[in-house]
Amino acid sequence: MKKILLFSAFAILILSFSSCKKTVVSFTIVGNWNVDSYYENGVDNTTAFKATYVNYKINFDASNNYIETYTAAGINFTNAGPWKLINGGNDIQLTNQSDNTIRNFNIIEIKASSAKISENNGTKRYHLLKN
């Protein structure tokens, strides 16, 4: 009986921590972000990224919507839709409302003013700064 109570208490504690993490990540991600650096297959491609996606910005609001804006080849682009945390708060999922495409990013690290995320199994890594 003692083992069952101990296991139950441990399970509740683990679930509480995972729920707290999701809340903290969700709260931290809200705001305006831009790309500080970009790596592809371990190679710094920040200059190429910023030349291709001019003035790239992404905003995550508290209502779980995002707006991503940039200029490419002189054309202004906007992607928008809902965002949500998945996999226990370890990943963020963006759904583009215009075509329902889904992009998943792994949250490597997130702080109040910076974040490191990756996509495509880590082949693309972004260092973001909050404005």
Distance CA 15, CA 72 (A): 43
Q: How confident is the model at residue 6 (pLDDT cuts 50, 70, 90)?
A: very low
**CATH architecture, range 2-130:** Beta Barrel (2.40)
User: Any idea what DSSP says for residue 88?
Assistant: G
Binned at pLDDT 50, 70 and 90, residue 21 comes out as low
State the CB neighbour count (10 A cutoff) for residue 69.
15
> What pLDDT does residue 64 have?
97
The rounded distance, in Å, linking the Cα atoms of 53 and 41 is: 19
E-only strand ranges, 1-74: 31-40, 43-44, 54-60, 65-72
Answer yes or no: is pLDDT of 3 > 70. no
Per-residue pLDDT tens for 38-66? 999 999 999 999 999 999 999 999 999 99
The yes-or-no verdict on residue 24 having pLDDT over 70 is yes
